[in-house]
Amino acid sequence: MFTSPIVASNILPREFRKIAGELFPLAGSQAIKGPTLEAAAAFANDLGIVEDYKRLQNIRHSENDMRDFLERFENNLDLLIQKTWVEKADEDRKNVLLDKVPLFITLIERKDYQEALKDFGLILKELAYLFFGNQSLKEDFTEYTFRIDIQMGLFWWYGNMLASPEGLKWAKSADSDVLLAVLLLGICYLTNF
C-alpha cells in the first residue's frame, strides 16, 4: 500500500509538515524520536477531529466508556466495509478485513498498543484498497488522496506511516499513553467517517 514514508513526507502540503514531522519522523530526520501527546493532539486538530479526540483522551481511563467507544468504532468500520462495493474477486479480502477488526479491538482492550498499531496499519492498507481499488497500490496514492480532500489525504498519509516499518520505528520505545494517542487518531477519524 501507499508510498514509502520518504516519498510520502515529500508530498505533504507545507502547512502540515511541521506537525506531521512531530508525529512521525520525516525524510532526512537523523533521530528517530517518536510523537508526543501534544503532537498527537495537534495532528487531531489538522484532521478535523480534535473535539472527539480530546473527549477520547478523557475517557480512555474508563474501561466501560472506552469499550463503548470501541464498539461504535467497530460497528462503523463494519458498516464501511460491508457497504463498500467490490468486484467478486475481492469479496474474500473484504471478509478477511471484517475478521481482523475484532482482533484489533482485542489488542487495544488488552493494552497491547504496539501490536495494535501494526494491525491497524494493515487494516488501513486493506481499507484503502476496498475504497480506492488499485489506485491505493500506486506510488502516488497519498498524493491522490490529498487532491480529493486535504484532511482525507492527511489521514491516508497517517495510514501510510502506520503501515510502514520505517514509520513505526519509534513505537518500540514509546510509552503506552503515546501509543494509544496515535491509535486514537485513526480510530476517531474512522468512527466519524
- Tens digit of each residue's pLDDT (9 = 90 or more) over 127-166: 999 999 999 999 899 999 999 999 999 999 999 998 888 7
Mean local confidence (pLDDT), 6-10: 55
pLDDT at 3: 53
Q: Position 75: which residue type?
A: N
CA torsion, ordered 57, 63, 64, 70, to nearest 10 deg: 60
pLDDT at 9: 60
CA atoms lying within 13 Å on the CB side of residue 152: 12
Encode pLDDT of 28-75 as tens digits: 454 456 788 899 999 999 999 999 999 888 887 788 888 999 999 999
Burial of 158 (0-12, 13-18, 19+ CB in 10 A): buried
Residue 27 CB partners (closer than 8 Å, separation 6+): 5, 6, 7, 9, 10
A 10 A CB-CB count for 57 gives: 18
Mean pLDDT of 175-189: 94
Q: All 3 cell numbers of residue 69?
A: 467507544
**How far is Cα 46 from Cα 12, in angstroms, rounded to an integer?**
12
Q: In this structure, which amino acid lies at residue 161? A: M
- Whether 22 has a pLDDT exceeding 50, the answer reads yes
Q: Cα(177)–Cα(131) distance, rounded to whole angstroms?
A: 31
Q: What value does the mean pLDDT take over residues 167-174?
A: 82
Query: What pLDDT sits at residue 123?
Result: 96
Q: Is the pLDDT of residue 77 over 90?
A: yes
What per-residue confidence (pLDDT) applies to 31?
A: 47
pLDDT tens column, 91-104: 888 999 999 999 99
Residue among 53, 26, 14, 13 at smallest CA distance from 161: 26
Q: What are the residue ranges spanned by the domains of the chain?
A: 5-191
pLDDT above 80 for 125: yes
